[in-house]
């Protein structure tokens, strides 16, 4: 699949794009978790360091350097980071995961403190790969091409 049409299709059909740390085992597991619970395929994926992620971010007017290195959700022209991204992703999944969006009522500094603590320790707790994950054939169709 050519990258530009994939990004245009993601914007046109309201698909969200999850940008993730491609070498983090927790992030890779999260991508598989999200894909299994997003049967309609409303969520596309790209590793944060990829050319596709750079194009998604620049096309939406975001500076990659200003975003975290773990997880970013781009949807409807907005970038969500940290706990806001994780909880909004949960809202796009099938039940019971959308129930987690009630946590958005917790002040973001507290939510993000917990998120950043996990993000800082993710390599130590979950490990990392030497290279970005290779998606399975069924998951590959959900990735934006470089």
State the Cα angle at 51 between 50 and 53, rounded to 5°.
65
Confidence at residue 146, expressed as pLDDT on a 0 to 100 scale: 66
Percent of the chain topping pLDDT 70: 84
pLDDT confidence tier of residue 19, bands split at 50, 70 and 90:
very high
Tokens representing 45?
Answer: 């994926």
Alpha-carbon dihedral sign for residues 117, 123, 126, 131: positive
Distance CA 81, CA 75 (A): 11
For residues 37 and 99, is the Cβ–Cβ distance under 8 A? Answer: no
Q: Of 21 and 137, which is predicted with more confidence?
A: 21
The answer to whether residue 63 scores a pLDDT higher than 80 is no
Name which of 8-12, 48-52, 88-92, 102-106 the model is least confident about: 8-12
| Residue entry with tokens 């099938």 | 94
Identify which of 22-31, 34-43, 55-64 has the greatest average pLDDT: 34-43
For residues 4 and 30, is the Cβ–Cβ distance under 8 A? Answer: no
Confidence at residue 1, expressed as pLDDT on a 0 to 100 scale: 34
Question: Per-residue pLDDT averaged across 108-135, rounded?
Answer: 84
Residues with Cβ within 8 Å of 72's Cβ and at least 6 positions away in sequence, in order, are 18, 19, 20, 48, 57, 79, 80, 81, 85
Q: Crossing angle of helices 82-92/108-126, nearest 10°?
A: 90
pLDDT confidence tier of residue 134, bands split at 50, 70 and 90:
low
Confidence at residue 6, expressed as pLDDT on a 0 to 100 scale: 44
Distance CA 49, CA 3 (A): 15
DSSP conformational letter for 103: G
Distance CA 71, CA 28 (A): 11
């Amino acid at each position: 699949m050519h990258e530009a049409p994939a990004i245009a299709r993601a914007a046109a059909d309201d698909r969200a794009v999850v940008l993730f740390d491609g070498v983090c085992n927790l992030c890779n597991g999260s991508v598989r978790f999200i894909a299994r619970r997003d049967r309609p395929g409303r969520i596309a994926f790209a590793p944060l360091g990829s050319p596709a992620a750079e194009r998604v971010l620049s096309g939406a007017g975001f500076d990659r350097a200003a975003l975290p290195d773990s997880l970013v959700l781009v949807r409807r022209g907005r970038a969500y980071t940290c706990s806001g991204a994780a909880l909004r992703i949960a809202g796009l999944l099938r039940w019971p995961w959308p129930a987690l969006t009630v946590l958005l009522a917790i002040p973001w500094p507290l939510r993000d403190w917990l998120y950043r603590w996990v993000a800082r320790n993710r390599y130590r707790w979950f490990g990392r790969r030497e290279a970005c994950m290779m998606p399975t054939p069924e998951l590959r169709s959900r990735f934006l091409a470089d």
